[in-house]
Structure 1
């Protein structure tokens, strides 16, 4: 955890904060001195993640990012009670893997509802207010799957690609008003989502799944990871913390890959 205070005095909203990358982003931002409104659909894990830490600078709230009205109400309430938002980080996401032939309408719609519509709802509510004040930073955590085809991930990859382009378009619209919008695109990261993909292969498949990720899988047209390690959520969170800081003050509409070189930056 960082001990510097480069984000002191700033207020951040983080979605999907209950576990994995979202939880790591909360810790990274709070560790840099920010106050954080940590939101998630499942508040049990969220409360445990932030309980008793950071001298009360982290507040946990339930939020369904697919509910546009709920998002708008929470952002409005936050600004009334905690102050103006300086930072918004879209992390909430779901993965429903399937071949296109077997992909259901429900899974397709649910994936876009969270991964794309949720980004739209949160970014719209936050950017409106940030633009009026002439400052702010929005980061969307996407995926390297948004930039390279993947088997059995059509819905996920498509939803993330849409979120990336949306964030860039928003960044172009609000750049002249002092608001920066960037994306961070992780590769395989050691989260519950990643472990769930390995578990789908059957009991005891985690070791084989990790090896396949590191070495690549020709049968699924997947390269390995040149750096030879699977990312930790903190690797992604550190990239987010950089992009919302003044060190990145001249960076907007950028898509930062944090994947150990796995996509060969295709």
Structure 2
């Protein structure tokens, strides 16, 4: 189980949204690279970054901030937001991003996801962002007619490295992850699933360590870290303790 701290970028700053609403953005750090370095110093081993402006624009917007993060930390970084063609994916992977996350294009242009996964094995994830079970696109601004499990199954044979599953209704709300929905998706497909949206406390981390969550590969946490509800050392120690017990 990997715990990913999240950096969401808007206007070059590190922010958190409520349910993906760009008008409900709280700025937590004007220096995203410094925030990334802080996370690394706290013991996190992976980082999740989203170019929020890019997700709406359909092309990278916060490139300078992303590049500053890459240059500042050594831990692997996965990036989503505005990655909708091979050229953009290749640019970021060459620049040092470990894994690109394709969201909107996974619904609108599945052939692109398959081609990217073929060209960059082990470096392509699909973002499945769902509201009431149905996938949202264009920075969560529009709903599609496809449900989360069907979208995951679409790429079973494509070589996709992971699915990042976000319950939009819980994102930024501090109400806990949608464990049931995440487990249902993880059990329906062979691709590893990363949970996102609503992780609020150490209790949520403990919940992810229970046997029924064994197929969940990781989780993303944002606001809980920024406002102090989740202590990094306690969270990471909890994961390490459960991992040790599982392998004993």
More helix as a share of residues: 1
Band of TM-score, shorter chain: 0.3 to 0.5
Name the one with the larger strand percent. 2
TM norm structure 2: 0.38
- TM-score, normalised to structure 1, is 0.36
Select the structure of larger CA radius of gyration: 1
